[in-house]
Amino acid sequence: MSSQRILPQSQEALLKSYTTRLKDDVKSMLENFEEIVKLAKGENDSQLSRMTQCEQDTYEMQVRAANMVRAGESLMKLVSDIKQFLILNDFPSVNEAITQNSKLFRAKQAECDQKLASLRDDMATDLFDLEEEYYNSIFK
């Protein structure tokens, strides 16, 4: 199924918003990580005392780590939203699955009908033989 599907305008807007969310979250994670690495290297020069600078850097790292966690949670929510969108809007796959199941069940039905017809014929033959035996018997 490599055919191109045409999506309604609302779905296109939703997909664009997903793309925007993805780019923003990844960008946020990258920027915060880069800033944490810069803080760890100690690249910022300031007039603060060493102890004050250490406390400030620790606080900033915690805030940036929290921002990274928030962006990661947002990405997980985005994945969940995309899965839900795909499940709810993938009508060709659903229709194909229904068609395949329908064919499978029709084949099973035909197989059962054939076995039942064969069983009926065998029983009719056996019943005919039994009736003939009964009517030809001396113990009626």
Query: 16-42 pLDDT, tens per residue?
Result: 999 999 999 999 999 999 999 988 887
Q: Report the distance separating Cα 96 and Cα 19, nearest Å.
A: 28
Domain ranges of the chain: 8-89, 91-140
* pLDDT value, residue 81: 92
**Burial class of residue 139, CB neighbours in 10 A (0-12, 13-18, 19+):** exposed
Q: Are 39 and 65 in contact (CB under 8 A)?
A: no
- List of residues 6+ apart from 77 with CB closer than 8 A: none
* pLDDT value, residue 11: 77
Residue ranges for the chain with pLDDT beneath 50:
1-4
